[in-house]
Chains A and B, each alone.
Chain A
């Protein structure tokens, strides 16, 4: 008898399918990086990375299966990072670099 019946165990096939999807996304990102897509290369690569991360977090890390609070905390780091990079970029993209006079 399992006292933790609430913790359902996913079938092995689900993990293997996710791995296959991750490796396919890896092949996709490596392949498209070689195509001349101009300004779209970087957003596409980062979009694929976000998709891979979503797969790893939801299936491998079970981030959506526990309490809602845990799920929200799992996104915290990314939100803080977005704030850090977002505000840093507002500075660097809107102001001219003034070289020091000495």
Chain B
């Protein structure tokens, strides 16, 4: 009985090691490796869109420069800053979890989620602006003739890339909110932080995707 209660107490604080692993560290390394494999598939998911972008930009360099100037550079720049800051905050949150600073971690995770929501709201304003400027291919698209086709292709990619990216941000915000609640309930700590760490890896990748989206969609032809 005494041993059993000791085990229960241990299980609450220590990581549960599945039987195929030697110890908690090996288990954590396997989980991290698996997450990186998943992130590699995510890079390829966005990669096909970036590959399409590259080909079309090689075919229509002028059209893409014209189209890119229709995007809102100020909003794009602020959104990039927002995501970079959120990446820093979630990295600090994982650090706090490792140090058993649960309150700090919850605050940092909440702030990260808030920045994610800020990003989504700003993108919503951008989409609305593009709607009013008749830049929705197939539904409401009116542009002057010479480069209209290339501009339309650019905006097809723009909505695909930013749409899927925003979907990833949305999923990230939900996962981070769930994580914040679980950290608040002291599910994680210095002995058990794989889940927070993997969540952070996902969020950083969403940030990295945007780091490349920003110059490719917002900064083309700005000097022309």
Contacts and interface: CB of A to CB of B under 8 A. Distances in A.
Interface of A: 2-4, 6-7, 9-10, 12, 15-16, 18-19, 22-23, 26, 29-30, 33-37, 41-42, 45-46, 48-49, 52-53, 56-57, 59-61, 63, 66-67, 69-70, 73-74, 76-78, 80-81, 84-85, 88-89, 92-93, 97
A85 B216 CA distance: 15
A76 B40 contact: yes
Contacts of A52: 84, 211
Contacts of A60: 87-88, 90-91, 200, 204
B169 to A, nearest CB: 16
- Interface of chain B, main secondary structure: helix
14 contacts: A3-B14, A3-B24, A4-B24, A19-B84, A19-B87, A23-B84, A36-B223, A36-B224, A56-B204, A57-B204, A73-B33, A88-B54, A92-B59, A93-B58
A25 to B, nearest CB: 9
Contacts of B204: 56-57, 60-61
Contacts, number: 146
B43 A81 contact: yes
Given A78-B43, A80-B44, A35 B98 contact: no
Interface stretch (B45-53, B113-121, B151-159): B45-53
B11 interface: no
B37 interface: yes
Interface in B182-221: 190-191, 200-201, 204, 207-208, 211-212, 214-215, 219-220
A56 B204 CA distance: 7
Interface stretch (B73-81, B130-138, B171-179): B73-81
A56 B25 contact: no
Contacts of B80: 26
Interface string B54-66: 1100110000000
A70 B88 contact: no
Contact of A70 (B33, B214, B222): B33
Contact of B88 (A2, A18, A78, A85): A18
B85 interface: yes
B16 interface: no
B86 to A, nearest CB: 10
A19 B85 contact: yes
B39 A77 contact: yes
A34 B223 contact: yes
